A = this chain, B = another copy of it.
Amino acid sequence: MSAEISAPAAPLTMAKAINAALSDAMAEDDKVVVFGEDVGALGGVFRVTDGLTAKFGEERCFDTPLAEASIMGTAIGMAVYGFKPVVEMQFDAFAYPAFEQIFSHLAKMRNRTRGAVPVPVVVRIPYGGGIGGVEHHSDSSESYFAHTPGLHVVTPATVEDAYSMLREAIDSPDPVIFFEPKRLYWSKANVALPARTGPIGTAAVRRPGTQATLVCYGQTVPICMAAAEQAAKEGIELEVLDLRSLVPLDDAAIERSVAKTGRAIVVHESVGFGGFGAELAARIAERCFYQLEAPVTRVAGLDVPFPPPKYEHWYLPDADRVLDAVDRALSAG
- Which residues of A line the B interface, CB within 8 A? 69, 93, 96-97, 99-100, 103-104, 107-108, 111-112, 135-136, 143-144, 146-150, 247, 270-271, 273-279, 281-283, 285-287, 289, 292, 294-298, 303-305, 332
Contacts and interface: CB of A to CB of B under 8 A. Distances in A.
Q: Top 7 nearest A-B pairs by Cβ distance? A: A285-B285, A147-B274, A96-B100, A281-B282, A289-B295, A278-B278, A278-B279
B96 A136 contact: no
A301 B19 CA distance: 39
Given A147-B273, A150-B305, A97 B96 contact: no
Contacts of A275: 147, 279
Contacts of A107: 305
Number of copies of this protein chain within its complex: 2
A24 to B, nearest CB: 32
Contacts of A289: 292, 294-295, 332
A100 B103 contact: no
Contact of A97 (B100, B136, B295): B100
A278 B274 CA distance: 7
Given A274-B276, A282-B285, A296-B286, A104 B136 contact: yes
A8 to B, nearest CB: 37
B149 A303 contact: yes
A161 B144 CA distance: 28
A332 B229 CA distance: 38
Given A281-B286, A286-B298, 17 more contacts: A107-B305, A108-B135, A111-B304, A111-B305, A112-B135, A144-B147, A147-B274, A147-B275, A149-B271, A277-B282, A278-B278, A278-B281, A281-B282, A282-B298, A285-B285, A286-B297, A287-B295
